[in-house]
């Protein structure tokens, strides 16, 4: 009888082993985690073990009935967390954070996007749970529940701790200062594991909340000094050239720069934009800098010249902060400011955040006629959206600042047959195939909108600014993208694909392509200088794109950065001319600047430091806002 017992394996061990192996398989099949050595592979293998042993080991303190219930519930919850990361990663190439999970008001609008990401084979992500429950139900002879002695429990948890220290020790030798590189979630998951990463994320969330409570404004001096040292004097030729004109700012949903002047099936993808940029200032080395907040992040960067946070969306996590955003500044200087977006006003928490940004009016879903005929995918099609918005523009007090957020070119890139101006691409990626027709539709909608502005007499007295908000095609489609581009999508090429269109049309100005390295962070100072407002006294991290002595440099939210001659991403320095790795010393001079910009911006947001900011003319930013109409 004693021999029989020794041959049995505990359900605690079974649950741990099943979930451990499944997690490692998921790492290898569902996440694109780069492995460069046997040590990294070994770390990836063992990093889930400490957490799983600890969590399942807590059942050792319970009686058999409670042990059984605890193991089943815990196994299911952990599997669900892992699966949620898989689904999120399929589109965003990123891992979940607590702030993202808090964005529950967005869930009701996700609809077709989530449906597109789910597959019948996803049931396999719960196969270990199914096996565990089946074993318990059938009471297999080789498995059992047992009562553990104090010595057994002590030995078990000492072994668990030893594995944890082994994991951390190896990770630290592989990646020194690992836990300070919080912007690189893939690095964290690769070294400490998905589950430990979520625990660390919870710690960061509590730290972020504490930062505001403890901030007293003393941190500002270093940040202000950094801004003043990097401030670039505006161009004498361009400063105030658009003074008093209306501003029409258009966010181009999911539009990347690689579609400009390109064809699919022999037809232009963006025929209108291709022509429009010839009559405008076009910045072809302009990068999006968004994080997990995607479109809302792009709004935040463009209007504040601050970086988004590396976790979640600022629109959710810090909507109560005080900002001196472009709409607030212009509203205080005689402009009527409005945002127009035919979606639920609470999506991305816009109804709350827009008050902090200083908008006078938010035209949302109730301000549009929306029905089944004029909607697709996420909502109102771009053509009726622009057409209906004309009436809103005509009713605005002049001058106005009006931001339009387009919607049709949104994942999963659905489009009615009658709205297709080009046929889908043919590759192994349905997402990429359908992307081109929706980009083409958006281009046609823009063409019609610009024509309507001319007909209503709004065109000649307005500057029109177009910008891509974030990528549309994630790295999960690199194979198909490589086929379209005719070259392999390396980390260097992937960074280059983060370029988005940025176009400024000023009436009476001759078109010009400007190839200066830039990003969304530069929009606010550039725009305000064109309108005749100097931004020297306002804390920001961007620079005027027309300034003659500006540094060609931009940093992405993941810590990658681009200079005139180099790209630094995934700890590799690339030569922009060849696209090949080069001596890392060539990127070293910019590493500290990239780190400082992200950290200073994070401190400003997490500490709500702008509430302490004293402007040179003696006016304090009170942050008092009136309710949106």
- Rounded distance between C-alpha atoms, residue 51 and residue 71, angstroms: 14
C-beta pairs of 580-585 under 8 Å, 24+ apart in sequence: 580/492
How far apart CA 624 and CA 622 sit, in angstroms, is 5
Give 448's Cβ-side CA count (13 Å radius).
15
The β-bridge relationship of strands 400-405 and 9-10 is unpaired
H or E segment and range at residue 77 = helix 64-92
Token duo for residue 375: 């909607």
Q: What is the β-pairing status of strands 566-569 and 572-575?
A: antiparallel
Q: What angle do CA 439, 290, 202 make, to 5 degrees?
A: 135
**How far apart are alpha carbons 54 and 60 in whole angstroms?**
10
Question: In the structure encoding, which two tokens stand for residue 126, read together?
Answer: 């719960």
Helix axes 38-46, 185-192, angle to 10 degrees: 80
Q: How far apart are CA 344 and CA 350, in angstroms?
A: 9
Preceding amide of 137 cis, omega within 30: no
Helices (H), 376-506: 382-394, 430-455, 478-485, 491-496
Judge contact between 360 and 629, C-beta under 8 A: yes
CA atoms within 13 A on the CB side of 564: 6
* From 295, 326, 526, 554, the catalytic residue: 295
Torsion-angle region of residue 340: left (phi > 0), alpha (psi -120 to 50) or beta?
beta
Spell out the residues 6+ positions from residue 591 whose beta carbon is closer than 8 angstroms to its own.
561, 568
Nearest Cα neighbor of 464 from 527, 513, 408, 522 is 527
Q: Are strands 502-505 and 512-514 parallel, antiparallel or unpaired?
A: unpaired
Q: If you search the block for the tokens 């009136």, which residue do you land on?
A: 626
Calpha distance 6→359 (Å, rounded) = 71
Active site residue 406: no
* Distance separating alpha carbons of residues 442 and 446, to the nearest angstrom: 6
d(CA 560, CA 568): 5
Contacts 24+ apart (CB under 8 A), 586-589: 587/561, 587/563
Helices (H) and strands (E) in the chain, counts: 23, 20
Comparing C-alpha atoms, which of 449, 487, 442 is closest to residue 468?
442
Catalytic machinery residues: 295
């Amino acid at each position: 009888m004693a021999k029989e017992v020794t041959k049995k394996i505990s359900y605690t061990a079974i649950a741990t082993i099943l979930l451990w192996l499944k997690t490692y398989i998921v790492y290898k099949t569902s996440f694109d985690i780069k492995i460069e050595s046997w040590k990294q592979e070994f770390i990836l293998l063992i990093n889930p073990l400490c957490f799983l042993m600890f969590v399942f080991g807590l059942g050792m303190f319970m009686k058999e009935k409670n042990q059984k219930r605890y193991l089943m519930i815990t196994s299911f919850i952990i599997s669900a967390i892992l699966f949620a990361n898989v689904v999120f990663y399929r589109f965003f190439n990123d891992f979940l954070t607590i702030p993202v999970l808090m964005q529950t008001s967005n869930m009701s609008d996700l609809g077709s996007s989530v449906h597109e990401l789910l597959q019948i084979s996803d049931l396999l992500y719960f196969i270990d749970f199914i096996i565990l429950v089946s074993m318990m139900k059938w009471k297999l002879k080789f498995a059992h529940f047992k009562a553990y002695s104090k010595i057994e429990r002590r030995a078990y948890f000492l072994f668990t701790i030893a594995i944890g220290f082994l994991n951390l020790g190896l990770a630290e030798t592989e990646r020194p200062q690992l836990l300070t590189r919080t912007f690189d979630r893939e690095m964290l998951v690769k070294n400490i594991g998905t589950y430990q990463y979520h625990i660390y994320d919870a710690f960061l969330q509590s730290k972020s909340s504490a930062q505001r409570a403890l901030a007293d404004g003393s941190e500002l001096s270093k940040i202000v000094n950094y801004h003043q040292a990097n401030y670039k004097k505006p161009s004498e030729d361009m400063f105030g050239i658009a003074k008093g004109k209306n501003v029409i700012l258009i966010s181009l949903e999911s539009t990347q720069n690689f579609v400009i002047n390109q064809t699919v099936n022999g037809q232009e993808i963006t025929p209108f934009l291709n022509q429009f940029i010839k009559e405008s200032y076009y910045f072809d080395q302009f990068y999006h800098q968004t994080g997990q907040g995607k479109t809302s992040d792009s709004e935040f960067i463009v209007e504040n010249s601050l970086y988004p946070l590396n976790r979640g969306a600022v629109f959710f996590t810090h909507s109560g902060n005080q900002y001196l955003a472009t709409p607030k500044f212009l509203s205080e200087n005689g402009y009527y400011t409005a945002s127009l977006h035919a979606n639920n006003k609470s999506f991305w928490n816009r109804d709350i955040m827009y008050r902090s940004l200083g908008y006078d009016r938010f035209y949302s879903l109730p301000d549009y006629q929306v029905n089944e005929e004029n909607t697709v995918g996420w909502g109102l099609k771009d053509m009726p959206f622009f057409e209906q918005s004309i009436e809103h523009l005509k009713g605005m007090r002049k001058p106005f600042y009006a931001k339009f957020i387009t919607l049709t070119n949104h994942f999963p890139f659905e489009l009615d047959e009658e709205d297709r101006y080009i046929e889908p691409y043919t590759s192994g990626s349905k997402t990429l195939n359908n992307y081109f027709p929706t980009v083409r539709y958006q281009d046609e909608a823009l063409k019609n909108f610009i024509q309507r502005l001319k007909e209503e007499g709004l065109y000649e007295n307005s500057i029109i600014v177009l910008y891509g908000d974030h990528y549309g095609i994630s790295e999960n489609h690199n194979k198909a993208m490589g086929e379209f581009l005719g070259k392999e999508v390396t980390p260097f090429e992937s960074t280059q694909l983060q370029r988005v269109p940025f176009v400024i049309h000023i009436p009476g100005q001759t078109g010009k392509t400007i190839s200066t390295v830039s990003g969304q962070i530069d929009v606010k100072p550039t725009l305000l200088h064109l309108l005749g407002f100097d931004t020297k006294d306002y804390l920001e991290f961007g620079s005027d794109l027309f300034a003659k002595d500006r540094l060609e440099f931009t940093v992405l939210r993941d810590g990658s950065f681009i200079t005139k001659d180099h790209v630094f991403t995934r700890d590799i320095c690339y030569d922009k001319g060849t696209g090949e790795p080069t001596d890392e010393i060539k990127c070293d001079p910019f590493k500290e600047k990239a780190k400082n910009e992200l950290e200073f911006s994070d401190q400003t947001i997490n500490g709500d430091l702008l509430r302490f900011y004293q402007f040179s003319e003696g006016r304090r930013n009170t942050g008092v806002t009136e309710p949106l109409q």
